[in-house]
Structure formats: C-alpha cells, structure tokens
Amino acid sequence: MTKQQRMDHLENEIRQNDICPDLAAQAKHLVMGDGNLDADIVFIGEAPGEAEDIEGLPFIGKSGKLLNKMLGEVGLQRTDVYITNIVKYRPPDNRDPTVKEKAAFLPYLIEQLEIIDPRVIATLGRHSMEYFLPRVTIGDIHGQPQAITLGEAQNAKEVTLMPLYHPAAALFNGSLMQTLRDDFAKVPPLVTQQRTLLKRG
C-alpha cells in the first residue's frame, strides 16, 4: 500500500474502533493531519479547535496562522512538513484533552509516525510532549533537542524530538513569542544533522 492508502486505512480504523465515542458524537470531522507524507519534520499538537473541526484540517485557526508564519520564517511551507494532533476529535469548548482521550488515540499517532517516517518530531505544547518526554516540564526543556527511539526491537529508529511551546501559548502570552521564534529556528538544522549522522553511520 502507498503511504496515503495506509493513512486512509488508519483513519477508517479509528472510525471502526469507535475511538472516543463521546468526542466523535459532538465533532464535525475526524482531523487526521495535513501535509507531506514524506516529510522530514512532523509537528504534533494536542487536539483540533473549532476552526479545525469545521474544516477537517489541523492548525488553521489563529494558532495555525502563527504556525504558518513561523514555518515561513525558517524557509518552510505546510506542504514541506506534516502537521497533526494526538487527539483527532475536537474536545467540547476547546477544553484540554484528557489523559484517557490521549491514551486512546496514542497508538494511532504512533502508527502515523511509522507511516511518515520523519527525521524530526516537533511537539507543540505539553500534551504532545508528555508522551515522548514524561516527567519534564516544557518550561525547562523547550528548544532543547532530544534523541528518542520510535518503534520496537528490529524496527526501532532514533529520531530527534524538539519540544516547542504551542502557538496558542505565544498568542496568549506575548512574552513567549520570541522564545517560540528562536526555538522554531532550531528545527530545520536538525534535519541536516540527522542526515549527516546517517551518512557517518
């Protein structure tokens, strides 16, 4: 199967397995993701908001516009990367996703990453960061790349994870805007570093 066929199959699995039925019942769309399935960089947020639920695409509201701006500042477009969330349905009133909801969707996020096979994962906010880096706070670790392992046994692969503040945090607290911009600028060079390491290996 092609990557797109695998992603479509994954989306059907979420529907067939009735993941988070309470969320599904009040959502307009299952928001899987958007972008390049061969991307070197995957951005992961927490859950769709109102605009995302209406359109069926991640990060297209105010936070998405800021994300697009940040991408442009580092020479990237949405078509260069892949953007998704841990939770694929909008929580009511844009509340934070619960631990149970994140756990229910986590296997599907991991399979998305296996399909795309990125070199760099950039988490947007603490909800997506906490799975990969438990027991740390984003205020302590943002902008500091971390080596993590995806997959198990023979299929294990080391990738670079970059914890970033969520764009919504910078919109809410203007003092974080420059921090987010500075951290964002560190993401593209990580791809080059990964390629160099692979060549050496």
Which of 98, 194, 176, 94 shows the shortest CA–CA distance to 138? 176
* Side-by-side strand order, sheet with 157-164: 34-35, 82-85, 41-45, 120-124, 157-164, 146-150
Give the domain CATH number at 80. Answer: 3.40.470.10
Give the Cα-Cα-Cα angle 158, 74, 149 (nearest 5 degrees): 10
Name residues whose C-beta falls within 8 Å of residue 139's C-beta, 6 or more positions apart in sequence. none
pLDDT at site 200? 47
Q: What average pLDDT does the chain have?
A: 93
Task: Report the range of poorest mean pLDDT among 71-85, 110-124, 131-145, 187-201.
Answer: 187-201
Higher-confidence residue of 27 and 158: namely: 27
Give the CA count within 13 Å in the CB-facing half-sphere of 118. Answer: 31
Percent of the chain with pLDDT over 90: 87
Higher-confidence residue of 149 and 155: namely: 149
Give the Cα-Cα-Cα angle 145, 166, 178 (nearest 5 degrees): 75
Name residues whose C-beta falls within 8 Å of residue 194's C-beta, 6 or more positions apart in sequence. 40, 119, 120, 159, 160
C-beta separation of 101 from 20 below 8 A: yes
pLDDT at site 85? 98
What is the average per-residue pLDDT within 8-28?
A: 97
For β-strands 41-45 and 34-35, DSSP reports them as unpaired
pLDDT at site 149? 87
Decide: residue 179, CB within 10 A, 0-12 exposed, 13-18 middle, 19+ buried.
Answer: middle
pLDDT at site 194? 66
For residue range 128-139, what is the model confidence (pLDDT) as tens digits? 999 999 989 999
Taking residue 43's Cβ as centre, other Cβ atoms within 10 Å add up to 30
Percent of the chain with pLDDT over 70: 95
Whether residue 199 is predicted with pLDDT greater than 60 in this model: the reply is: no
Q: Which domain holds residue 62?
A: 3-200
Whether residue 84 is predicted with pLDDT greater than 90 in this model: the reply is: yes
State pTM to two decimals.
0.94
Whether residue 197 is predicted with pLDDT greater than 60 in this model: the reply is: no
For residue range 63-83, what is the model confidence (pLDDT) as tens digits? 999 999 999 999 999 999 999
State the total domains in the chain. Answer: 1
Whether residue 88 is predicted with pLDDT greater than 80 in this model: the reply is: yes
